[in-house]
Amino acid sequence: MKKQIDPAIKAHLLRRMPILLSFLAFCVIPFALGKWHLDVRSPKANPAGNVCIHGWSPGPDLPSPAIRSVGVYFYTGKFYLMGGRSSDSAGSDFTHPFEYDPFPSTWTAKLASYPDNQVNNMACGVLTLSGTPYIYCVGGSAAGQAVATARVFYYNPATDTITTLTAADNWPGDAGGTILPGGFAVTGNKLYTLGGFNINVASTNGIYQFDPTAAIGSKWTTSAAVTPEGIMYAPTCAIGGIIYVGGASDFSGGTVIDTTNSFSFNPGTNTTGAIAPIPRATGETRALAYNGKMLVMGGGRVAPNPSSEVDIYDPGTNTWTTGAPVPAFMTARRNFPTDTNGTTNIWLAGGYAPSTPTDSMEIFCLGATTVMDAVSRKTHGTAGTFDIEMPLTGSSGVECRSGGATHDYSLVVTFSGNVTVTGMPQSQVVTGTGCVGSGGTCDPNGTVSVSGAVVTVPLTNIADVQVINVQINGVNGASDEPAVNVNIPMGFLTGDVNGNRVVNSTDVAQTKSQVGQNVGSGNFREDVNANGTITATDVTIVKSDVGHALPP
C-alpha cells in the first residue's frame, strides 16, 4: 500500500511551533486557586503523556504551581493531587483536589472542598471501606503556620465528595497539635505513618497504623516499635507487606537536612530491621513501589540537592542501583506529588525546582516498543492511498475528509518493531463519539489488524468536529516486555483542507482552485469525499461546513 504523508501539515506545524510556545509562555492567566470552583483544563492539548513512549516525557502543566501536595494513583487510571499549596505565602493553600486524566491528558480542579486549610505535608493513600476505594488523608498544616492538625478525611473520586472522620479517630501522632506525619505507606488495606516533624523543633519516631474498617474511635493503633532514629519527610513504600524507608529529612541546628537513614518495618511482627543505606542523602520526597523494587524519587534540599536521581532498592538483594528500569527524571525537584500504578507508569508534578514552585509535570512509561508514526489513511478511488499525520504530541492532527454514509476511517499506527496486540478489547475509542468497527457496526472486541510493526484500527460512526482518543490495548513488542496501552489523538473536521482547525472561505477557495486537477500528494485533502476526483461536489461539502472549528 502506497503511503503519502501530507507535507503541508508538517510544514504548518513547524511554522506554528514558535507561536504556540510563545502563547503558552505568556498567556497563562493567574487565578486564586483557593477560591476556584470551576472545571479547569490545562492549556496543553495532547502532551506526550497519553502515548506510551519509553522513558520520561513532559505532561501537561498543572493549573498552578504546586508544592507539598501528595500524589495518589487511583484504580481508574487517574492521578490525584491531594492538598498542598501554590506558594509559601499564607493563604495559598489549595481548597480542592486536582485530577489528572490521561485521556485526553488534562488536569481538572475538582469541586469537592477540603474540610480546612491544613492540607500541606499530609499522609495519603488508597484504602477500601465496604468494598469502595477512597483516598484517605491524615494530618497537615497551613502555609506560614507552625501548628498542625490530626484530623482524617477521605475523598471519593467517583462522587467528588469529601468526608471527615470524627475527632475520635484523629491521628494520635499529633496529640500536641504541632506534628506532621513523617513517612507513610499502605499495605494490607491499612495506612502506616512512620516518624513525623514537630514543626521547627525536631523529628519524631512513632509508628502508627490506621484501619478504615475498625470501629469509630478504634481506627488507630500505636506500634510498640519506633523508628531507629527520628525521621520526617521520609521516602517510604510497602513491598510484599514490608515497609521500607530510603533516606529521610531531619531537623538539626534549626534547619531541615537530608540523611541516608534507611530501614525496614514489618507490621506483622511489629519490628524494624536494617537495610543497606541509600547511597545519597535525600528527603522531602516519596518512595514508590514499582515492580517489586523501591524507587526513591529525587528530592532533598541540601546542595547538590534537590535531585532528579531515581535510587532503586531491591529488597531481594539488599542493594541500591540507578538507571534501570527507571532513569533520572528531567527536572530536579523536592516536595512534589508523585505516584505509580506499580508496573508501567509513574506520574510526578510540581514541587520546588529547585527552590521556586513549579507547575511542570513528567510522566514515565515502561515500554521498549515505541510509536514511530500514526496516520489517518484513506483510499481515493484509483488515485491512490493518502495519509494525514496524527501527531503524538501538541495539537491533534486534522482529518478533513468525509467518512461516507457510516463515517468510516482507518487509524494506522507504526511501531519501532514487530508487535502483538493482546488486550480485550484490542482497541477502543476512549473519548469522543464513535467506535471501533466498520460500516456503521461497532465491534465489541475492538478487532485490529497487525502486520509486523503496523497496527490498523478500523473506525466507524465517527462524528465530525471533535477530537477523539483511540486506545490500542495490550501492545507488546517481545514476550518478556510488559504489555502497554497506546493512546492516539485524532481530530475530525470535514472541509478543513488547509488543516488550520477552522473551516472558512479560505478552504472553499483552496478547494475550488483544485477542481479538475489530478489527485496527488499535494492536493488530496481537497478531494474531501475521497473518491479520486476533485469536483464541485467537494466544494459543496466544504461550503456546508464553513464555521466549524476545533480547539487549538
Instruction: Provide the CATH number for the domain around residue 464.
Output: 2.60.40.1220
- Asked whether residue 425 falls in the same domain as residue 516, the answer is yes
State whether 101 and 148 are in the same domain: yes
Q: Is residue 46 part of a domain?
A: no
* Residue 324 pLDDT grade (very low, low, confident, very high; cuts 50, 70, 90): confident
Q: Which of 298, 333, 365 is the last residue of a domain?
A: 365
Kindly state whether residue 436 falls inside one of the protein's structural domains: yes
User: How many Å is the Cα radius of gyration of the chain?
Assistant: 26
Which pLDDT score is estimated for 479?
A: 57
Report residue 393's pLDDT band, with 50, 70 and 90 as the boundaries: confident
pLDDT score at 478: 65
Residues 428 and 524 in one domain: yes
Its domain, for residue 307, covers 55-365
Find the helix or strand (DSSP H, E) in which 25 lies.
helix 7-26
Q: Among the three residues 344, 365, 386, which one is the final residue of a domain in this structure?
A: 365
pLDDT at 52: 58
CATH code, 293: 2.120.10.80
Rounded mean pLDDT, 435-462: 97
Mean of the pLDDT values across residues 474-487?
A: 77
Same domain, 422 and 291: no
Establish if 35 belongs to a structural domain.
Answer: no
Which of the pair, 485 or 200, is modelled with greater confidence?
200
**For residue 31, is it within any domain?**
no
How are the residues of the chain apportioned to helix, strand and coil, as percentages rounded to the nearest 5?
A: 10, 40, 50
- Domain annotation covers residue 290: yes
**Does any domain span residue 60?**
yes
Residue 479: name the closest of 418, 405, 402 by CA: 418
Residue 25 exposed, middle or buried by CB count within 10 Å (0-12, 13-18, 19+): exposed
pLDDT at 184 over 80: yes
Find where cell 505565602 sits: 89
The count of structural domains within the chain is 2
Check whether residue 320 and residue 416 sit in a common domain. no
User: How confident is residue 1, by pLDDT bands cut at 50, 70 and 90?
Assistant: very low
Q: Which of 311, 336, 365 is the last residue of a domain?
A: 365
Shared-domain flag, residues 355 and 470 = no
Domain annotation covers residue 526:
yes
Distance CA 387, CA 521 (A): 9
Q: Residues 357, 496: one domain? A: no
Same structural domain, 332 and 449: no
Residues 66, 172 within the same domain = yes
Q: Locate cell 496543553: which residue?
A: 44
Answer yes or no: do 258 and 281 share one domain: yes
Q: What integer is the mean pLDDT of 474-498?
A: 86
Rounded CA-CA distance 273/547 in Å is 68
CB crowding 159-187: b at 16 or more within 10 Å, else e: eeebeebeeebbbebbeeebbbbbbbbbb
Q: What is the chain's length?
A: 552
Does 422 lie in the same domain as 342? no
Give the SS3 label for residue 486.
Answer: strand
> What does the pLDDT look like over 97-154, one tens digit per residue?
999 998 888 999 999 999 999 999 999 999 999 999 999 999 999 999 999 999 999 9
Among the residue ranges 48-57, 71-80, 99-108, 255-264, the one predicted with the least confidence is: 48-57
Residue 8 located in a structural domain? no
> What nine digits make up the cell of 495?
472541509
Residues 216 and 353 reside in one and the same domain? yes
